[in-house]
């Protein structure tokens, strides 16, 4: 599983011109699922994201987590995080999980976030749809987490 996390002032996602999800101050998480990922990896990745200390404290240092600052979250499924461009100029996406598995684990990640952060604090994209994502990046501050590299 891969999570590209952007600290944002706000973010939103549209499908067919209508907003389907948004968040205020917090994180935009682009979430990619790999073929070997499972519920355990998903839970551990959420815990890592939840505890990640990339929010500023009263001294401007990145010492606080999303939970510490009462932030919100927008989670967007992003299979292209598994792009393989080693050969040629057209990326291959065969390293991404099949749609059924990816959707199930994406939904689980969102449910875990909703359970921990509370109602109304987790926005979602629409799995498999063509989406337009807008954000005001705070910093900018972007972090890439890979479950294999983290040993999750």
If you ran DSSP here, which 8-state letter would residue 92 be given?
Answer: B
Gap between the terminal Cα atoms of the chain: 9
Taking CA atoms, 10 is separated from 2, 13, 56, 94, in Å, by: 21, 11, 16, 32
Rounded Cα–Cα distance for residues 32 and 51 (Å): 19
Helix axes 99-117, 39-51, angle to 10 degrees: 40
Active site residues: 78-80
């Amino acid at each position: 599983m891969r999570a590209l996390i952007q600290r944002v002032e706000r973010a939103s996602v549209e499908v067919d011109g209508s907003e389907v999800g948004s968040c205020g101050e917090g994180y935009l998480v682009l979430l990619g699922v790999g073929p070997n990922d499972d519920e355990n990896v998903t839970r551990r990745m959420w815990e890592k994201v939840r505890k990640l200390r990339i929010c500023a404290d009263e001294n401007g240092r990145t010492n606080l987590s999303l939970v510490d600052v009462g932030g919100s979250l927008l989670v967007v499924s992003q299979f292209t995080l598994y792009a393989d461009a080693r050969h040629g100029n057209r990326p291959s996406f065969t390293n991404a999980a099949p749609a059924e598995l990816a959707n199930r684990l994406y939904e689980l990640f969102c449910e875990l976030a909703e359970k921990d952060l509370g109602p109304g604090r987790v926005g979602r994209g629409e799995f498999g749809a063509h989406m337009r994502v807008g954000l005001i990046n705070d910093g900018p501050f972007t972090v890439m987490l890979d479950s294999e590299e983290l040993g999750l």
